[in-house]
Structure 1
């Protein structure tokens, strides 16, 4: 694709009009509320709160009548926002599966609210609470995506009655970012009834309304007197660790550490964070994956410091995991091991039409790597309500020796009222280049995406070019030196009449991708089809897929130990069958099986799961297994990955969890046990106990040897002023 054609794509941004939705209300203000968050709503402030008398069904039948009713109340005082949801629903129909913070609530009855605190329809916060009072929150930067690894400091409690359940929420102003004396926030309210799979919303009540579209919100006035105080948050920690290595004579080490995070609001909309001697002892372990490709796997960020404001660093459109210019796991981690961080600084927020995100981190000497400085900066500017441009700069190399810099620019035009028909539409593009200690002159990349993501028709096309010398050292780029074209369409009708009694929605999919090298030769192509893909009104999911594909191996590929596929071109067909039970069931089974040709042989992949929880969600057991059986002329192979997660919760603030993973090919067994006790939001005690075993060749699983364990006790306390 020529540069001139690429620039022509950007010119399309200016051809569309700006549209907005109008839904205004004003919440009462009290100087200092005397509220106990307990789910009872027996204080006088709730009598005078602004009240939304009911939400409207969005899915499956927009505006349809149901036996359910949801009342929402809201007000604020100087330091907090208060919300309450009253969900009229018989007690014996309420569904709960989890009490784990940020747990999977897709099969639970829950309520949620979205806050766009800058009132510009760009970014936002999501706060979600199920009927057990379990909290889930996240950062929004895209109408279809939310980062739920962020944990804000806020309070929520629920209480179940005979014919209703109530959720009471308090969100401190200091948890949010907003402009001082700004007259309004944008807000949207949700309620989900798991038994009947019904979604209720206040504003976005069409089937095309995307779940996290902060433009489809109401204007909530009365927040101009909210104060973040001095905007200072101080979070010291202390941790004690005991490490025992059984491979070197059961050698044990005792280690004590302390550090802190300091947050200061530079302006009401922009804040700075300082972290000193950063520790991640309480961070959840990675979920292991089986890799049958010749490219590296992607693992999401889980560390709290890097998650804070992570949505402001997002760059480009249509990139997915094909290219992430700033991949924060490049900092403080080396080959899966933690690299100590001496200190780090972040600056995040919005001022007017400008959003800013900056990061500086200094790591310590470790694993024969010298201490290294890392710097990342991201700026974005809103030209109109729908059109945004931005730039990204990263500097530093994890090896601590090389110089590396990446610079990039991007632009996106996005609307939820395309051609005045309340349809979603997006067009965007990006360009970037790396420099430093690198060879070659093909160091840039660029691409675009056009997307029409709607309920009946979901279609998109994207193009990405990555130079063979493009090397973003702080990024994730699994296939440099390629040109990637992808796109397709999904037609998703919702049948009515007699057929609608058996099928809620069909998903007929046809998507394709092609990857060429810089010389124009095809390296990969794949067509994914779904001739059968449906969900029933009860929530059962049935799917059959047919996926022909092609792979060209430039070098011999060792897919498993001792099994080497020769270089050359391979054309083969894969098929998949997938069945899932409704998520609202207390006992769920499901899985998928891929089968068919694979390179010059065959491969069968079985992925199954079982999940059980008791009625109040205090106990949850999840078992997942992947078993792959390959049959190739060069040899047969087996890959297995088994995972078991057990959770017991005394209440949403006191949770014990255990996560065990077994990888057959490496013979490694890992168990991560965690106790988290939240005294109050922002004040936590963690107890973490990790076990590791090794199964050696020729030995059974039950004869695995203990290779090490680690115990960590961490206290984290937050003061705000």
Structure 2
């Protein structure tokens, strides 16, 4: 039985849809976005916050001990401001920060005071979760564009954090580079000390002012704080609220800046699905190179790259009608990757780097990216893949992106993509491989000086040999964020023949309107730091403005002062199937094209306080489903840590689907125990199992990583895949890989 509560169908009036002009929408969005950009052009909010930096007056040893004369002589940044639980006062726990430099390195030291007692961390694993660790972070924008930059830091146990900042506040932690740090603990404070080579970052050598901020998380008091004040509705990485690092003279030139990163590997692969067992031995060498054209422009080269050490994707129970998205993890594609990948929205990405080398090896590639001048970023990439037989000829991928800053923090970007099949034959076309596919377009990004207004508008056009009709994609959004309100309008218009083969566009031939609005109450007392409702809708129409599906939801979020959270949601769904669909994604039986389905559901979630050694995350959904059926989903994760060395987690997802015949009752589990052992902040072991009953697979993956020198690693990776019933081995894979980062 479905739940008995009922939503009224929320629909735009048919007469309005019939008379809606797409060009009118686009033109109005352009006018609104440009108006907001120009009217909100202003000086940086925290421009008065300055930390002066001078050359180190003595040698600095990175040991977490502040006993050098250089630190006594350096200027001090202190008096951190609270961001959470409330941004109206100074932080109770003190943080002192100093910075210095010499001809090779940028130095930073942070003294993080706290109430006596143990600290809270997950482990010594690199790139930890910000909200689950006592930590200190540096956010740095050497170009002062307030949209991109770097982040470095550590948790209280010494685990390193480094990432690239994009979109003004998003820190991507897959990036990895060469730098050193040390953390030392005392009774009432801990010290973080680091040296960041000038060769590891990009900057303008002639400038004497960088945008900078420092963030602190202290879980004992549940305080999140920053040096330059940041409103609580934004993250501490938000560059619009950064202060300034003021140099006594332009920073030193890094000199010849060439890094060669070779690797060698050996491995063995056993295919047990064949009798006799097929055994393949694998060996290989290759290299990456980073060549600084100047201090702000970098050339990346790769020859015969290998990504076998990259952690496998986490499996998910798939009940979706469309392709799932998994993020890029390969290092080569990450630095300045936002230049290429940030065009579009979640489901309308014209470029998605995981399409390159999908199932085939990459032979070589080159990528030039960075700043041509203070306001212009460029990216040019060319990648070549191997021939894998008649099903897949060798292919060449060329991508050009440029981003010109306008107004306070806004920008205009262009993107052009060309995918070409080499030695193309008619047999390739029969197999569904195209001779070429091209996409080009323009995007305008709005980011007001105070980050209250953000948005974008873009238009893309694809070109293919057999493309006919509407090959356009247009989209826009406008978001307003204040202390209490979060309001967003977004629409997408994707043509039937818009074909972005190197992108992520899971559906075509639709118009989507997706507004949402949320409000937060901020009580001064009581168990909650904030709580409030949110309403969101998503309407899909075909190109004739006929409704195909929609989702309407009303949720309420409760955020405790101890950082635990509770979420509840009521949802109303409608789907008119445009293609046959198996609602279990397992049986093979499908629902008919044109069939209509409506249901209501209720969901709730709970995440426990991160300070506990034992943590719980629970969520559930119950309600209607296709064909007047019901769906129960329960997802959980239980974790325990023996800090800072061992972290255990057990995640699970259970689905119980009741449908009429031929499906009847379908149940399946996805279970994933995980073990993280961090012997030090340079030696890690990870092991996890994924039992996916829906796809009838058990995956075992273990990885040992030894960082024997900064950015140089030894990996041992072992992977098994099993058939659950009857229990038997499908395949096994073992690889040993050694990388070395060599600065010339």
8 Å CA contact 2:79–2:91 kept in 1: the answer is no
Rounded to whole Å, the distance in 2 between the matches of 1:360 and 1:132 is 41
Report the secondary structure of 2:516's partner residue. Answer: strand
- Work out which of the residue numbers 335, 351, 354 in structure 1 matches 2:372: 351
- Work out which of the residue numbers 663, 680, 689 in structure 1 matches 2:718: 689
Cα deviation per residue 1:529-583 (whole Å; 9 max; x = unaligned)?
Answer: 11x4202212232222100110111333112314433441111101002122111
Report the secondary structure of 1:565's partner residue. Answer: coil
Equivalent residue, structure 2, for 1:551: 575
Rounded to whole Å, the distance in 2 between the matches of 1:644 and 1:524 is 36
Correspondence 1:182-201 to 2 at 5 A: 182-201=207-226
- Work out which of the residue numbers 435, 459, 463 in structure 2 matches 1:402: 435
Equivalent residue, structure 1, for 2:11: none
Report the secondary structure of 1:329's partner residue. Answer: helix
Q: Are 1:667 and 2:687 matched, yes or no?
A: no
- Shift of the 54–126 alpha-carbon distance from structure 1 to 2, 3 Å rule, reads same
Equivalent residue, structure 1, for 2:161: 136
Report the secondary structure of 2:644's partner residue. Answer: coil
Q: Are 1:266 and 2:266 matched, yes or no?
A: no
Equivalent residue, structure 2, for 1:536: 560
Report the secondary structure of 1:626's partner residue. Answer: strand
Q: How many Å apart are 1:306 and its aligned residue?
A: 1.4
Q: Are 1:120 and 2:153 matched, yes or no?
A: no
Q: How many Å apart are 1:103 and its aligned residue?
A: 2.9
- Shift of the 271–289 alpha-carbon distance from structure 1 to 2, 3 Å rule, reads same
- Work out which of the residue numbers 44, 48, 57 in structure 2 matches 1:23: 48
Q: How many Å apart are 1:253 and its aligned residue?
A: 2.4
- Work out which of the residue numbers 18, 27, 52 in structure 2 matches 1:7: 27
- Shift of the 26–508 alpha-carbon distance from structure 1 to 2, 3 Å rule, reads closer
Q: How many Å apart are 1:67 and its aligned residue?
A: 4.0
Cα deviation per residue 1:387-443 (whole Å; 9 max; x = unaligned)?
Answer: 3101001110687642110001000221143xxxxx611232000000022332200
Rounded to whole Å, the distance in 2 between the matches of 1:53 and 1:427 is 34
Equivalent residue, structure 2, for 1:581: 608
Q: How many Å apart are 1:105 and its aligned residue?
A: 3.6
Equivalent residue, structure 1, for 2:498: 470
Equivalent residue, structure 1, for 2:680: 651
- Work out which of the residue numbers 367, 387, 397 in structure 2 matches 1:374: 397
Equivalent residue, structure 2, for 1:152: 177
- Work out which of the residue numbers 345, 349, 363 in structure 2 matches 1:342: 363
Rounded to whole Å, the distance in 1 between the matches of 2:336 and 2:720 is 32
Q: Are 1:490 and 2:490 matched, yes or no?
A: no
- Work out which of the residue numbers 479, 483, 491 in structure 2 matches 1:451: 479
Question: How many pairs were matched up?
Answer: 699
- Work out which of the residue numbers 561, 568, 591 in structure 1 matches 2:618: 591
Q: Are 1:243 and 2:269 matched, yes or no?
A: yes
Equivalent residue, structure 2, for 1:226: 252
Equivalent residue, structure 2, for 1:111: 136
Q: TM-score, normalised by structure 1?
A: 0.94
8 Å CA contact 2:147–2:239 kept in 1: the answer is yes
- Shift of the 325–38 alpha-carbon distance from structure 1 to 2, 3 Å rule, reads same
Unaligned stretches of 5+ residues in structure 2 = 1-20, 422-431
Equivalent residue, structure 2, for 1:384: 407
Rounded to whole Å, the distance in 2 between the matches of 1:238 and 1:99 is 27
8 Å CA contact 1:142–1:213 kept in 2: the answer is no
Report the secondary structure of 2:240's partner residue. Answer: coil
Rounded to whole Å, the distance in 1 between the matches of 2:331 and 2:493 is 33
Equivalent residue, structure 2, for 1:617: 644
**Structure 1 stretches (4+) deviating beyond 6 angstroms?**
none
Rounded to whole Å, the distance in 1 between the matches of 2:233 and 2:506 is 33
8 Å CA contact 1:56–1:62 kept in 2: the answer is yes
Report the secondary structure of 2:273's partner residue. Answer: helix
Cα deviation per residue 1:469-497 (whole Å; 9 max; x = unaligned)?
Answer: 0001100101110000001111011112x
- Work out which of the residue numbers 606, 616, 620 in structure 1 matches 2:634: 606
Report the secondary structure of 1:474's partner residue. Answer: coil
Report the secondary structure of 1:501's partner residue. Answer: coil
Q: How many Å apart are 1:30 and its aligned residue?
A: 2.9
8 Å CA contact 1:625–1:642 kept in 2: the answer is yes
Correspondence 1:556-575 to 2 at 5 A: 556-559=580-583, 560-567=586-593, 568-575=595-602
Report the secondary structure of 2:55's partner residue. Answer: coil
8 Å CA contact 1:602–1:631 kept in 2: the answer is yes
Cα deviation per residue 1:323-368 (whole Å; 9 max; x = unaligned)?
Answer: 111000100113xxxx111100011101221101111001111264
Equivalent residue, structure 2, for 1:481: 509
Rounded to whole Å, the distance in 1 between the matches of 2:130 and 2:28 is 43
Cα deviation per residue 1:269-328 (whole Å; 9 max; x = unaligned)?
Answer: 1110110010112111011122112111001111111122212224446x1x21111000
8 Å CA contact 1:107–1:585 kept in 2: the answer is no
RMSD after superposition:
1.8
Q: Are 1:360 and 2:386 matched, yes or no?
A: no
Equivalent residue, structure 2, for 1:420: none
8 Å CA contact 2:377–2:402 kept in 1: the answer is yes
Q: TM-score, normalised by structure 2?
A: 0.91
Cα deviation per residue 1:22-59 (whole Å; 9 max; x = unaligned)?
Answer: 13535443379632222112222111122113312121
Rounded to whole Å, the distance in 1 between the matches of 2:712 and 2:269 is 25
Equivalent residue, structure 1, for 2:14: none
Q: Which moved more, 1:52-61 or 1:425-434?
A: 52-61
Equivalent residue, structure 1, for 2:446: 413
Rounded to whole Å, the distance in 1 between the matches of 2:58 and 2:157 is 25
Equivalent residue, structure 1, for 2:283: 256
8 Å CA contact 1:28–1:50 kept in 2: the answer is yes
Rounded to whole Å, the distance in 1 between the matches of 2:108 and 2:252 is 15
Report the secondary structure of 2:339's partner residue. Answer: helix
Cα deviation per residue 1:495-524 (whole Å; 9 max; x = unaligned)?
Answer: 12xxx3122110311111101111211111
Report the secondary structure of 1:29's partner residue. Answer: strand
Q: Which moved more, 1:57-66 or 1:267-276?
A: 57-66
Q: How many Å apart are 1:183 and its aligned residue?
A: 1.6
8 Å CA contact 1:692–1:708 kept in 2: the answer is yes
Q: How many Å apart are 1:79 and its aligned residue?
A: 1.5
8 Å CA contact 2:158–2:681 kept in 1: the answer is yes
- Shift of the 155–438 alpha-carbon distance from structure 1 to 2, 3 Å rule, reads farther
- Shift of the 407–572 alpha-carbon distance from structure 1 to 2, 3 Å rule, reads same
Rounded to whole Å, the distance in 2 between the matches of 1:24 and 1:590 is 39
Report the secondary structure of 1:106's partner residue. Answer: helix
Rounded to whole Å, the distance in 2 between the matches of 1:409 and 1:384 is 17
Unaligned stretches of 5+ residues in structure 1 = 418-422
8 Å CA contact 2:408–2:449 kept in 1: the answer is no
Rounded to whole Å, the distance in 2 between the matches of 1:540 and 1:236 is 45
8 Å CA contact 1:98–1:105 kept in 2: the answer is no
